[in-house]
Structure 1
């Protein structure tokens, strides 16, 4: 069963597949409940795929609001009622009297939290506001964060825990770029977005440093489509917002949104 299961996933996902399958098996065989850390969309897909292999297991996904990207999962026997279960989430509200807080970005807040020794899985979506930030976080690390998170990129801050219904949302901000390409190949798009030569992006892609929709993609010739989210290690991530018609020279128009 394990060997056959791995054929459907990328080799670097093996550890997560093992853990997810154990959660599913224990829910089905031993009637256990498992509340996971925050999962990215790819991990949530893997868990859902594995849970579907058993008719006696169900999962609930929740990231604190309907459109959340990162979500916690509750894995449980099929007879359980999960809607009223506590998913163990709080809002970490970060503010400051320093006006420079308005200059901080997503990566600044993420870096400050991870620098405290917090694992990425304990943090959900991050919403950078005009005067601070709201972070969906696992409730069990909330007190630690409010005590120790005192600075974000040289800006002194204060933080407090709020219930989920106080979460302030901020839609993803994009820096849009339009260009034309000969094809929607992964290496062509990445090289144009980050203004790197094709040769500079080939090795990182083949080494597994590029992800398409949160899944490692090592084929430079992989074809992309509208709606795909691509991350390139060390450079950030972007989304293909639109693909248009052809130019007179047969090149395809593309609109990209770089996450900022």
Structure 2
């Protein structure tokens, strides 16, 4: 039985990467620290590596409820320390009384440094305090080159992880019925928008499934998928819970609040 049959075609390259990491740890008997992974990637890694093999996987993103985490793949009995994950915490110094910085602006400025999203963890906002996590190997570069977010002048102060903002995520859960698990059908139920409006968002590139842009209205969803519609926030399809007498599928889902 092939391991690939349990995953979508577009997830197969990532599975190959995981198998390469696993082989590295087993042949060299040395740890392998990954870049930051989104929750779907973390789930795939757990499923591929398992919990009974010669290689164990540990995850850390700065605090327990972090969304994006680095994985550390290690041989059995390897002692994992927090420092092994190579995380750097930065706090922005900026004129908070006169300027406002958004999540999108900060992410855009970080990627504008020429680094990929995988090098950054969660972006944390609480009142006027803004922090973000970066891979330790790019920390010096980020500190030296992140001087503006949008038009706002900023500087980065590295902080100990003990001073990280603990941001909890909350899902507003609900249940409903859909005629199918097509992307446009499920999003119409979750966001209470017509399928025509949802189709417009999908076809214009404004919809992501598991952090990847999907432009096909008929894309088939599966329980566990993370979803987002630009301008309407994020959601998740938690479960499919049977079929009604009229042949519709009962789904349980949540919107991030």
| TM-score of Structure 1 vs Structure 2, range by shorter chain | 0.7 to 0.9
Which residue is equivalent to 1:246? none
Measured in 1, the distance between the counterparts of 2:196 and 2:108 equals 30
Measured in 2, the distance between the counterparts of 1:163 and 1:155 equals 25
Measured in 2, the distance between the counterparts of 1:21 and 1:216 equals 26
Which residue is equivalent to 1:247? none
Measured in 2, the distance between the counterparts of 1:8 and 1:224 equals 11
Q: Does 1:110 align with 2:110?
A: no
Q: Is the 8 A contact 1:64 1:89 kept in 2?
A: yes
Q: How does 1:1-260 map to 2 (within 5 A)?
A: 4-52=2-50, 55-83=53-81, 85-101=83-99, 103-172=100-169, 186-191=183-188, 193=191, 195=193, 197-198=195-196, 201=199, 204=202, 210-211=208-209, 220=218, 229-232=226-229, 236-239=233-236, 257=255
How does the TM-score come out when normalised to structure 2? Answer: 0.76
**Cα offset for 1:170?**
3.3
User: Per the alignment, do residues 154 and 36 of structure 1 end up closer, same or farther by CA in structure 2, a change over 3 Å counting?
Assistant: same
How does the TM-score come out when normalised to structure 1? Answer: 0.75
User: Per the alignment, do residues 203 and 173 of structure 1 end up closer, same or farther by CA in structure 2, a change over 3 Å counting?
Assistant: closer
**Cα offset for 1:131?**
1.5
**Cα offset for 1:7?**
1.5
How far does the alpha carbon of each residue in 1:198-237 deviate from its partner, in whole angstroms, 9 at most, with x for none? 37528948x9x54159897978486787x86412478652
Q: Is the 8 A contact 2:35 2:70 kept in 1?
A: yes
Measured in 1, the distance between the counterparts of 2:130 and 2:75 equals 37
Q: Is the 8 A contact 2:65 2:167 kept in 1?
A: no
Instruction: Say what the alpha-carbon RMSD is for the aligned residues.
Output: 4.1
Measured in 2, the distance between the counterparts of 1:211 and 1:256 equals 14
**Cα offset for 1:239?**
4.7
